[in-house]
Structure 1
């Protein structure tokens, strides 16, 4: 392997770690904000019972954490993709790309999550480190 190939692979791994981290932080912040009682009061406006507050908050918080550390990344990104589809079509009604109720950020989060689903977490992740452990430590 040439030096440029090694640099390219390292750069790809850093980019994937950066993508996972950015998406993870966004969903952690959004998930934590959903623990606010005001969110439970807002849910009936979307046709959802207030009891869905905690499951929705955890569905964003836990995958966000797992993405950052690089464990169950594809599963977490899949779950976040489903959440983003719900945000685009159920919450915002996919009415406009920009402006009030626009789905531009939702589409970026959906696309980024789908990249992780397809490409995986990259080599800078706990799941990759575990794969490199000797067999007797598994």
Structure 2
């Protein structure tokens, strides 16, 4: 194996752990903030039942944690993609790409999640360390 191939693989691993960690931390922070009682007011104003507060918060928090560690990354990004599609089309109504009501941040999270969903978590992950997990659970 040449030096360039080794450097390329190391860079690839660093990119995936960075991407996973960035998305994971964003969703951990957003998930924790949804446990705030003020989020219930937001839900009721958008027509979503208040009982959905805990499921929505957990649907962001748990996949975020799993992404940081690189466990069940593909399943986590599927859930995150569903959440982002809901945020884009239901909450923000896909009004515009930028400005008030813009969806550029949600689109970036959706695109990044799809990359991990397709490519997997990378070699620096707990799923990679546990070789017995089926590939679809990586």
Check whether TM > 0.5: yes
Aligned-residue CA RMSD (Å): 0.9
Q: Could you report, residue by residue, the CA deviation over 1:9-35 in whole angstroms, capped at 9, with x for unpaired residues?
A: 111011000000000000000000000
For 1:110 and 1:30, the matched residues in 2 are separated by 15
Cross-structure match for 1:77? 77
Cross-structure match for 1:123? 123
Matches within 5 A, 1:30-69: 30-69=30-69
Shift of 1:58: 0.3
For 1:47 and 1:72, the matched residues in 2 are separated by 31
For 1:81 and 1:46, the matched residues in 2 are separated by 20
Cross-structure match for 2:88? 88
Q: How many positions carry a matched residue from both structures?
A: 132
For 2:46 and 2:89, the matched residues in 1 are separated by 11
Task: Name the TM-score, length of structure 2 as normaliser.
Answer: 0.94
Which stretches in structure 1 are left out of the alignment for 5+ residues? 133-138
Task: Name the TM-score, length of structure 1 as normaliser.
Answer: 0.94
For 2:48 and 2:56, the matched residues in 1 are separated by 11
For 2:104 and 2:41, the matched residues in 1 are separated by 25
